[in-house]
Amino acid sequence: MITLEDYQRAERELAVRESRRGWRIHAAIYAVVMTALTVLNVVLVLTTDADFFWFPFPLVGWGIGLAMHYLHGVRWAEREIGARQARIAKLAAERAGTAADLPG
């Protein structure tokens, strides 16, 4: 039989693993798309009369989103999952207390 602590530990480990996998996928897509956009912009500047390098704008904008994903999905994942589990435990305790007060 598993204990509540075993369950919480396993849930936390699984959630962290999924969060890290999600960030790695996001980072890989970011790298591919930003490489393509950079190459496209450079080729257009070299082969047309365009003279503006615009690729840094999506690079920085999406990079900020990727950084936030890293912070919340990888760096602070343990803390956020622990806080979520504490809120669930508190809600369950409140409901158990309410149920115990009901007659019959």
Answer for the pair 73, 17: CB distance below 8 angstroms, yes or no: no
Contacts of 80 (CB under 8 A, 6+ apart): 72
Residue 97 has what pLDDT? 79
Residue 34 has what pLDDT? 98
Above pLDDT 70, what percent of the chain?
A: 93
Residue 58 pLDDT more than 90? yes
Stretch 95-103: mean pLDDT: 65
Sign of CA dihedral 93, 95, 96, 98: positive
